[in-house]
Structures are given as structure tokens and as C-alpha cells.
Amino acid sequence: MTEADLNIIAEIRSEIASEYAEPHDHPWIIGYSGGKDSTLVAHLVFEHLLSLSPSARRRDVHIVANDTLVESPLVIAHLKASVERLRDAAEAFALPVRCQITRPSVDKSFWVNLIGRGYPPPNRMFRWCTDRMKIQPTSQYIKEQALSTGQVILLLGVRRSESAQRAQTVAKYDNGQRLNRHNDIPECRVFRPIVELSTKQVWEFLAFNDPPWGGSHAELIKLYKDASGGECPVVTQKADAPSCGTSSSRFGCWTCTVVEKDRSLEGFVEAGFEEFGPLLDFRDWLASIRSDPEKRMIRRRDGRVTITSNGTFVPGPFTPATRREMLQYLLRVQDQVGYELISAKEIEVIETIWSEDAVFIAVASQKELYENRAITKSGT
């Protein structure tokens, strides 16, 4: 790293030390995705805690990751392993650090909504997954900590140079001070310590500085190299949702159909992980059937037929036959890859929804029959 780069890192370390020394005990919550940016934030904070005497470590630090339950296999394996290393090191050094992985409730999981309720795979216009699977679980954890302490400070590894969209979001909530308000959680303030770093500076720091919890960042660097991309960011508010699932080569949910092509999963396959091929095929199949009218119902789940103001018909959820087809296909893929893709509990909830929907479909069909008879009698 150049002397200028080292000076910038020194300034960031100083900002972290200054904020941690503030005369209050509001806990810190690090939004941790396991990617390069959040890893750098965790590295610097962990490093600072180690530099303090035990009596000066008076502020709790929570390292909070999120598992959507449909994460890319290599990514979630890396995330879980790195969180475990952080947890073990924090315990060994007696640091006030807690590690937590949040997950969506079974009722809000990807498979329960897609296969159970028949939601179409998400796209840019209907991105139902981010809120249910990412925002709600992590926000709930943040709110619980804020409820017990009055206020929390959320540390995020967002950077202005990531993208034009990210720069706009940062600028929107930048008040010129170290801490900015959280858009959706009033008791939360946001601290973005590495916001001005470039991607090159992040990688150079990680390459030349081993993590203070032990080991090296080599595994993380290899993960990016194999995926040919970057991580989907930690998302804790709806304003950040557009960053989840972009046209760039990011790794995140292997089921993501917001992107046209999953370049990262393709990258893993090309890097020698051929066992992920069936996942890629399933994901592409989901995208291909999304707008197939023969696989969608006429009415929405509330019984309404939707036609937009410009006269465009909006189909309802997937038909029961298609939902069953999706489950059968998914279970075949699960057998092929040899590890769990959908839990027994999710299948149980899906079957309950199917049972309830059978009544809804019967009522909707009867209603359509009466409407057709009325139209026939009126001669229209």
C-alpha cells in the first residue's frame, strides 16, 4: 500500500477509536456479510478492541450476519466458518463481542413463498424476497438490542465508490457527521467507517494484513476469484434493497432471478465446482417459467383479477400443478447435490398452504361459474 493509502487507513482507525470512546454505552452492531468490505470493518474493530485494556472495552460489539437459507453453498460455508472463527477468538481474548446469524422465519422463507404460496420468482419490479429474508430478520435483531439499551450504532462496510447507486444512497443519508440516521429504525444510528475507500485499497489491506482473529484472508480472496464477482451487501433498510441482486457479478442467493444470469454461480462451476451445475439449471428454469401464462393462475391470492391502468393483465400465483412440479424438481436437485436445499419444516408449511389454497381455488372456481352464468343470462 502507498503512504497515502496507509494515511487513509490510519484516519479510519482514528475515527473508530474516537467513536468507541464516546461517553455512552450504546452497543455497536457490525452488519457482516463475510465479503471483503464487512470483513475489513470487522478486522479494524476487532483490532481496536485488542489494543484496549480490558477495563476500556466497555462497549458491546455484535457481529451480525444473515443467512437467507438459499445462499450460494460456498458463500454460506465461508460465512459460517468465519463467524465461528470470530466467536472463538472473541472468547479466547475475552472481548465483548457477540456473533449472531439471523434467518427468516419458516413462514417467510423463499421456498414457502415460491412453492407454497406460488409467488413468481423475484425480478426488479417485484422483489419480495429482500424484505422477508434479509431486512426483517436483521432489523428485528437490531430493534431487540435497541429496546434493551435505548440506542444502537450500526457499522456498515458500504463504500461510495462501489457503484453510482451506492454513491446516491450514501449521499442521501449523509448529514456531514460521523453518524447518520437509519431510515427505518429511529433508535439506530449508522456509522460507515470505510465509505471513502476504493476497492483497490480494500483488497490491498486484506492481502497484506492477516485478520486479528487468526489465519489469513486468503480463503476470502480465493472465494472472490472463483466467483468472479462480489458479495450482495448487508441490507437493513428498504432504501438499500436495490443493491440486493444487481446486474453485476455478485454472489448471494443461488436462487436469485433478479439478475439475468448468475455469473458468480457460473464462475464457481467454471472454477471446478461442477456439483453446482444442477443449482444453476434449476435457477434458470425458475426464470424461464416466471411469465408462462399456462403456469400462472388468473386470480391473485386475495381473489382479485388484476388489470393495470394501461390495460395490462397481471397474472396471479403459480398454479397448484406448477408448485408441485417445482417441489418435485427441487427435491431431485437436492438428491443430486447431496445436501439439504429445503427443510422438512418448510415442506410441512408448504403442504399446509396447499391445503388451504385448495379451498380458495374451489371457491374462486365457483365464483367464476356464477359470473359466467350471469353474463350468459344477461345476453352480454
> Tens of pLDDT along 164-186?
445 455 555 555 678 999 988 99
C-alpha to C-alpha distance for 353 and 116, rounded to whole angstroms: 6
CA torsion 363-364-365-368 (nearest 10°) is: 120
Go through the domains of the chain in sequence order and give each one's CATH number. 3-244 (3.40.50.620)
Strand partners of residue 98: 62
pLDDT of residue 247: 44
pLDDT of residue 126: 83
Whether 222 shows a pLDDT value over 80: the answer reads yes
- In this predicted model, what pLDDT tens digit does every residue of 264-292 receive, in sequence order? 778 888 878 888 899 999 999 999 999 89
Q: Give the DSSP per-residue string, 190-223.
A: EE-TTTT--HHHHHHHHHHS--TTSS-SHHHHHH
Percent of the chain residues past pLDDT 70, beyond the cut: 84
Provide the CA 321 distance to its chain's centre, in angstroms. 29
Residue scoring higher pLDDT (235 or 216): 216
From CA 46, how far away is CA 288, in angstroms rounded? 45
Instruction: For residue 4, give the 3-state DSSP assignment.
Output: helix
Answer yes or no: is pLDDT of 14 > 90. Answer: yes
Q: How far apart are CA 194 and CA 171, in angstroms?
A: 14
Looking at every residue in the chain, the average pLDDT score rounds to 86
Question: For residue 33, what pLDDT band results from cuts at 50, 70 and 90?
Answer: very high
pLDDT at 376: 41
* Residue 60 DSSP one-character state: -
Contact 63, 80 (CB under 8 A): no
β-partners of residue 152 are 188
Between CA 147 and CA 153, with CA 149 as vertex, the angle to 5 degrees is 95
Nearest to 137 by CA among 112, 106, 166, 96: 106
User: Is 63:28 a contact under the CB 8 Å cutoff?
Assistant: no
Instruction: For residues 12 and 238, give the distance between their C-alpha atoms in angstroms, rounded to a whole number.
Output: 27
- What angle is formed at CA 172 by the lines to CA 170 and CA 177, rounded to 5 degrees? 70
pLDDT for position 249: 42
**What is the grid cell recorded at 145?**
438490542
- In the prediction, which pLDDT does 32 show? 97
Does residue 93 carry a pLDDT above 60? yes
Half-sphere exposure in the Cβ direction for 222 (13 Å, CA): 8
The grid cell for 4 is 497515502
Enter the pTM of the model: 0.83
